[in-house]
Every structure is written in structure tokens, then in C-alpha cells.
Amino acid sequence: LAADTVIFSVSLPGLLVGRVIFPHVALGEAQLLLQRDAEGRRNWVLRPEDEKKDEPVLVHELTVNRGRLDVKDVPSDTDVALDLQTTGDSTYGVAFAGKGRIKGIPLSGKGAGGALMNLRDRSSPYPLSFTAAIGKGSVTFEGTVTGLVTLSAVDRRFGVSGKNVSTLADALDLSFPNTAPYKVSGHLRREGKLWSYNEFSGTVGRSDLRGELSVDFAGKRPLLASWSRRVLDWVRLTLWSWTGWP
């Protein structure tokens, strides 16, 4: 971490039990690097014996003035630089813009999110809005996410477009078949193991897509709960690519 100005407080009880907890951090002109090397070692782990513990550095409140965050993950060929600025907006407490690559695929985008102190809250919806270009595709997102790491609940307007959905899916750690140029928009929700894409419409190649779709991943095989007849063949092909299920 490098910064022109740094104001912070540290929890001493946390340090006594091996936890690094910052109740408040204010950064000015700051640059922060989070890096995982080829052996999986993380530069934010202070002691080697903590390498396998799921106890990251915890910040309760964070404000940033003209900050820069670099995330480098060698195993996944990810290298992203984010410019950050906290704001006084009651909903979107931080604005960001970034570029780089994720899993080797070029990435650029900008948007806004809730207060930085709420990023690790796994139980409350976190407001998020952004547009991004990933490879030859694009993504728009506006809504809330509960648990940014686990995506335990999602409620948002979600749109995607590009030349081939499979290249976008690779960056998102999903498996989709090759497609013709596509553009789809709808309302995406997740509740437990049930994902639904409601009131969606768009095109894939010359085919029009419109309707409702939900997939339940609670069982050993995904269960297609509902669909529009216009997307049945595409959905079957997608589920086969996920699971081998005909």
C-alpha cells in the first residue's frame, strides 16, 4: 500500500488473536496491490500459517480519494486495475472505473457501488450498477447482490450482448455453447439454488427470444422449471454444456 495520506485505526483485540481489523481507514491518492502468485501465496497474508485460513483483512469503514486498486492473480491470468473514488451519494458510495484482463480475456468498465464498508456483508443486499466490455461482449448490470463472493441472492436488471456468448461465459466461469451474435436483456434473480430470468427479450442470430426462464440447481441435475417455447432448443443446448444432460 502506498498513499499520500493514510488515516486509520487498528483493533488491538483483533491483533492479539491473529486478526487484522481496521475499524476505519481513510486513504488519499492511494495505491493498493492485491496479488496471488503462481504457488497461490497471497501478499495480504501476514503469517505463513494463515495461508489456508479464510480470515481476510477486515475493514469496517473505508473512504478513498483518488485511489487505485490493482488485482493480480497469476493462476487465473487475471490483472485488473481499478480507479476508486468514494462519494457522498446515499445509495452508491463509491464510483469506479477499471481495465485489464480476467482469465486472459480483455476487460474494461465503469460503475458505482454501495459503501465500501458493506462489501463483506454477506446478509444485506449491496447496490451495484455498471457497464463492462468483456472480450467481444458487453454486460450491463443494475440492482443488488447479496454476498458479492458467493452471490447468495441476486435481484437486478441484467443485459448481455456480443458476437459469441461462449467467450463471455468463459470470463464468468460458466459453460455455454458457441452462438451467433446475441443481445438479451431481462430481470435476473437468485433465491437459494433457484435462478430465474424474468421478462427477458432479445435475439440470438436470427432467432427472437422472449419469455420467462428458471433453473433449479438444488438437485444433482439442474431442473428447468419454466421456459418460453422460443428458447427451448437454446436452453437444452446450454444445460447440456453445463452437465451433459440431454
Structure confidence by residue, pLDDT tens digits, 38-92: 888 888 765 555 445 555 677 777 788 998 989 999 998 999 999 999 998 889 9
The pLDDT confidence band at residue 245, using thresholds 50, 70 and 90, is very low
Which residue has cell 488485482? 71
Could you give the CA distance from residue 244 to residue 223 in angstroms, rounded to a whole number? 13
Indicate the Cα dihedral angle 142, 88, 82, 59, nearest 10°: -100
Task: Give Cα separations from 187 to 125, 144, 157, 229 (angstroms).
Answer: 16, 11, 5, 19
Which residue has cell 457497464? 131
Could you give the CA distance from residue 130 to residue 222 in angstroms, rounded to a whole number? 29
pLDDT at residue 228 in the model: 58
Considering the entire predicted model, what is its pTM?
0.70
Of all residues in the chain, the percent with pLDDT exceeding 90 is 24
pLDDT at residue 183 in the model: 92
Report whether pLDDT(154) > 70: yes
Cβ pair 199, 159 in contact under 8 A: no
Sign of CA dihedral 15, 21, 22, 27: positive
Q: State the first-to-last Cα distance of the chain, in angstroms, to the nearest integer.
A: 51
Task: Give Cα separations from 130 to 55, 115, 141, 144, 160 (angstroms).
Answer: 28, 15, 5, 11, 12
Task: Give Cα separations from 235 to 140, 150, 170, 195, 228 (angstroms).
Answer: 21, 24, 18, 13, 10
Element containing residue 170 per DSSP (H, E): helix 165-171
Could you give the CA distance from residue 31 to residue 82 in angstroms, rounded to a whole number? 10
- Kindly state the average pLDDT of the residues 171-193: 82
The pLDDT confidence band at residue 172, using thresholds 50, 70 and 90, is low
pLDDT digits (tens, 9 = 90+) for 4-18: 888 888 888 877 777
The pLDDT confidence band at residue 237, using thresholds 50, 70 and 90, is very low
Residues with Cβ within 8 Å of 29's Cβ and at least 6 positions away in sequence, in order, are 3, 4, 5, 65, 66, 67
pLDDT at residue 46 in the model: 57
